[in-house]
Copies of this chain bind each other. A is one copy, B any other.
Amino acid sequence: MALEHAILVSLLEKPGSGYELARRFDRSIGYFWTATHQQIYRVLKRMEGDGWIDVREMPQQTRPDKKEYSVTALGRAALSQWLHEPIELESVRHDLAVKIRGAAFDDPAALIREVERHHQAHTDRLTHYLAGEWRDFTGPGAPGTPDAGRELQHVVLRGGIAYERMTLAWLDDVLVTLRRLGPAR
């Protein structure tokens, strides 16, 4: 489990509320971790109980009050300890690959639309990542000062970009294969 650690990293980068964390998990952190607000609120409670994070009630006039969380020394130590532990390789779960192999027992051509839909979604993601890279790292508005944190954020984003490009190339390969098999059936 690394949701707690992902939250620690995110709060160290910038303290914030559960709601804000949920939005970050939809955006920048979303290309290597996902979490819903329900999960986040639950884990925040536990982390607070463990003394990993502190809460400050932030009354707001125009919007509902919020709780701003920040990482304690204990939380930092917990993160540090985790960073020094070896972790398992990710295990892949690719439904689409199951479908593709399953298509051998159905109509391969019926999958073409589904694959095209995924292709479009990955194209959108890639566009979104590239816009973020331009905005935060490679564009003229991005700060030119070198900073370890930014460098590390950038290399993770480059990983997301590489993943989307690889996936798009593979989906092209899949489409060629399905179209070749389709009419022959």
Give the interface of A toward B (CB within 8 A).
2, 5-6, 8-9, 12-13, 31-34, 76, 79-80, 82-84, 86-106, 108, 110-111, 114, 117-118, 121-122, 148-149, 151-156, 158-159, 162-163, 165-166, 169-170, 173-174, 177, 180-181, 184-185
> Could you tell me the distance in whole angstroms from the C-beta of A111 to the nearest C-beta in chain B?
7
Looking at chain A's contact residues, the main secondary structure is helix
Is B33 touching A92 in the complex (CB atoms < 8 A)?
yes
Chain B residues with CB under 8 Å of A87's CB are 95-96, 99, 114
Q: How far is the CA of A162 from the CA of B94 in the complex (A)?
A: 14
Q: How far is the CA of A151 from the CA of B174 in the complex (A)?
A: 10
Q: How far is the CA of A166 from the CA of B33 in the complex (A)?
A: 19
Is B105 touching A79 in the complex (CB atoms < 8 A)?
yes
CB contact between A97 and one of B33, B83, B91, B110 (< 8 Å): that residue: B33
Is B151 touching A177 in the complex (CB atoms < 8 A)?
yes
CB contact between A93 and one of B32, B105, B165, B166 (< 8 Å): that residue: B32
Closest to A118 in B: B89
CB contact between A12 and one of B33, B86, B105, B169 (< 8 Å): that residue: B105
Q: How far is the CA of A125 from the CA of B99 in the complex (A)?
A: 23
Q: How far is the CA of A149 from the CA of B82 in the complex (A)?
A: 44
Q: How far is the CA of A73 from the CA of B151 in the complex (A)?
A: 55
Chain B residues with CB under 8 Å of A114's CB are 86-87
Q: How far is the CA of A118 from the CA of B79 in the complex (A)?
A: 20
Chain B residues with CB under 8 Å of A153's CB are 101, 104
Q: How far is the CA of A106 from the CA of B76 in the complex (A)?
A: 9
Is B151 touching A98 in the complex (CB atoms < 8 A)?
no
Chain B residues with CB under 8 Å of A5's CB are 98-99, 102
Is A32 touching B97 in the complex (CB atoms < 8 A)?
yes
